[in-house]
Amino acid sequence: MQYDVQDISPVERKIAVTVPAEEVNAAILATIAIYKTKYDVKGFRKGKAPATVIEGTFRGQIYNEATTDLINYHINEILNTLKLTPMSRITVDGGQLVRDEDFQYSLGFEIAPAFDLPPYTGLAVDEERAEVKDEELAEVERRILDNHATFKVLTEVRQPKDGELVTVNFGAYRNGEVVAGIKAENFELPLGQAQALPEFEELIKSLTTGQSGEKDITFPADFINSDLAGQTVTMKVTLHAIKAKELPEMSDDVAKKAGFDTVDKMREAIRQSYLENRRQLHKSTAQKKLLDGLVQGLDFPLPPSLVEDRIDRLVKDLEYRLDRRGKNLLSLGKTMEQLREEFREEAVQGSRAELLLLSVAEKEALQVSPQEIDQALNRLAVQTRQDFMELKRYYEENNLVVPLKDRLIMDKAMDLIYSRAERREIDPVAPAAAEPEAKPKKKAAKKAPKADKAE
């Protein structure tokens, strides 16, 4: 086998391969031998049919498999010899093996560009000190008490206020007909928590216990229910009861209900959770500063598929976030081409960062063990509530193990750069956002109350 390497560009290679007839014949005969032991031929015992009969019976499959196997063998041999790692799919341009004839084909793929690594040790970076304020902890305690609050029905006849729980009957009407799904009886709604349209809550707060009222309400154009978006309905409401919230005193009993032995242990656990999350947040911020600084000075050509794949991921991430808000890409009023172009610069910088980290990992001989891959998959399985073995099999069958391994190696490279940096601890520049474990639930998109379709 002979081959000739052509540099199409700094990131593209084409390899023309010529296989002599002797190797072609050997590949065909090897595949025939496999078929001879695997398949039955009428009139012959298994494994006893002549090679010519096997070839005639399974000719199409044999020549296809022989061609594929020979090309795959050559690909591995050539790439190992040249020490090349494709960063794209390998395209093959060639026909099928023919007995007693030389076989010619070509391979095309993209590779990582050659570039000089900038100095990545001893870099200076500011990192905020992790702090937790007493008022932040007090807010968490308030939410814990709020979660264990009770509600007492008020006997006083008056209008309800924010923070109270109301029991109502309601229905939405359009052209005198009930709007499907927007009607319920004895529906409980906490006021002032943005769980319903503001106009709907205003109508309720204008009533006193036992009173009914109605109001025309127009749903917003981006309403989660597209059938009602921008539509005006008449909302009719009857206020049956008002319940006032009663907060308990903080005690060991409340702490136990929240999963802690005592109030003191609960407070310490909350503080440590905040501190750990702040440390991780500030570490990630410092790492991003280091990486941005390294990438900023780099300028080298990128494999087109690397950039396009990253744009694909950015678009899918945007689509996912929009879907969680009840929207889609069309709601942005932009074409797919416009969206992809808007993401291009971010994808370019991200691709350069990826190549830089992989280059650092190669220089430092960083490795990822099979056990570390399994640990990463196990964490993902726990987070997504999937079976570990099923998730692992999915990754293996869809060629996702190598990208996962690359991500783990890049994380190691980033940790190495961070560990060798000169970190300067500074005071927090602004109040940090509350961590996921401690922050209140995100407000849902404003919506009409869910109904049980009670008539």
Q: Which two three-digit tokens encode residue 20?
A: 């002599």
Helix (H) or strand (E) holding 13, with range, is: strand 12-19
**Would you say residue 100 has pLDDT above 90?**
yes
Predicted pLDDT of residue 398: 86
Predicted pLDDT of residue 330: 86
All domains in the chain, ordered by first residue:
2-110 (3.30.70.1050), 150-246 (3.10.50.40)
The answer to whether the CB of 166 falls within 8 A of the CB of 187 is: no
Mean pLDDT of 24-47: 89
**Would you say residue 450 has pLDDT above 90?**
no
Burial of 29 (0-12, 13-18, 19+ CB in 10 A): middle
Mean pLDDT of 23-40: 92
**Residue-wise pLDDT tens digits, 300-324:** 999 999 999 999 999 999 998 988 8
Predicted pLDDT of residue 430: 62
**Would you say residue 62 has pLDDT above 90?**
yes
Q: Which two three-digit tokens encode residue 159?
A: 């209008």
Mean pLDDT of 55-75: 94
Q: Which two three-digit tokens encode residue 415?
A: 């940790």
**Residue-wise pLDDT tens digits, 200-242:** 999 999 999 999 999 999 988 878 777 888 899 999 999 999 9
pLDDT classification of 117: cutoffs 50, 70, 90:
very high
One-letter-per-residue 3-state SS of 167-189: EEEEEEEECCEEEEEEEEEEEEE
pLDDT classification of 448: cutoffs 50, 70, 90:
very low
Q: Which residues of 103-122 are buried (b: 16+ CB within 10 A; e: fewer)?
A: bebebbbbbbbeeeeeebee
Query: Among 137, 160, 350, which residue's Cα sits nearest to residue 242?
Result: 160
215 in helix, strand or coil? Answer: strand
Q: Which two three-digit tokens encode residue 141?
A: 């305690």
The larger pLDDT score, comparing residue 40 to residue 453, is at: 40
27 in helix, strand or coil? Answer: helix
**Would you say residue 69 has pLDDT above 50?**
yes
**Residue-wise pLDDT tens digits, 416-430:** 999 999 999 999 876
Predicted pLDDT of residue 39: 85
Beta strands per DSSP E along 274-418: none
pLDDT classification of 181: cutoffs 50, 70, 90:
confident
Give percent of the chain with pLDDT exceeding 90: 78
Q: Which two three-digit tokens encode residue 323?
A: 């879907």
The dihedral through the CA atoms of 221, 225, 228, 233 has a sign that is negative
The Cα–Cα gap between 79 and 312 comes to: 28
pLDDT classification of 431: cutoffs 50, 70, 90:
low
pLDDT classification of 353: cutoffs 50, 70, 90:
very high
**Would you say residue 190 has pLDDT above 90?**
yes
